[in-house]
Amino acid sequence: MAAPVRRGRSAAGRAEVRGDLVRAALTLFTEHGYDDTTVDDIAAAAGVGRRTFFRYFRGKEDAVSPDHETCLSRVDAVFAAAHDAEPLAPLVLRAADPVFDL
């Protein structure tokens, strides 16, 4: 009998595991609150072990906003590419798009 294939072996599998962890975290935070939800709870709900959780995130805070650093980079890029004469309000709205997408 062949050993089961581990989901995190391929890029698609890693994305699936990461998504499962984020969804589990958000569900548990909604149901039980942030403070009463542990990393072990999140991992179990996603069907993975604690060690697997920490391969994807440093802590439960990161599971809430998994792409925070990427989002900040996109916001920075909008401001860096802006023309000096561009009105501030439309610039801020454009820079906010990645935050809203997150």
Residues 6+ apart with CB under 8 A from 46: 17, 20, 21, 23, 24, 53
**Co-location of 22 and 59 in the same domain:** yes
What would the pLDDT profile of 15-71 be if each residue is shown by its tens digit? 999 999 999 999 999 999 999 999 999 999 999 999 999 999 999 988 887 677 787
For the whole prediction, is pTM greater than 0.75? Answer: no
Query: How many folded domains does the chain comprise?
Result: 2
What would the pLDDT profile of 59-73 be if each residue is shown by its tens digit? 998 888 767 778 788
Structural domain that includes position 76: 68-101
The answer to whether position 58 is within a domain reads yes
Distances (CA, A) of 13 to 37, 70, 76, 96: 25, 20, 30, 30
**Co-location of 56 and 72 in the same domain:** no
The answer to whether position 1 is within a domain reads no
Distances (CA, A) of 31 to 15, 26, 39, 58: 24, 9, 15, 22
**Co-location of 33 and 80 in the same domain:** no
**Co-location of 56 and 15 in the same domain:** yes
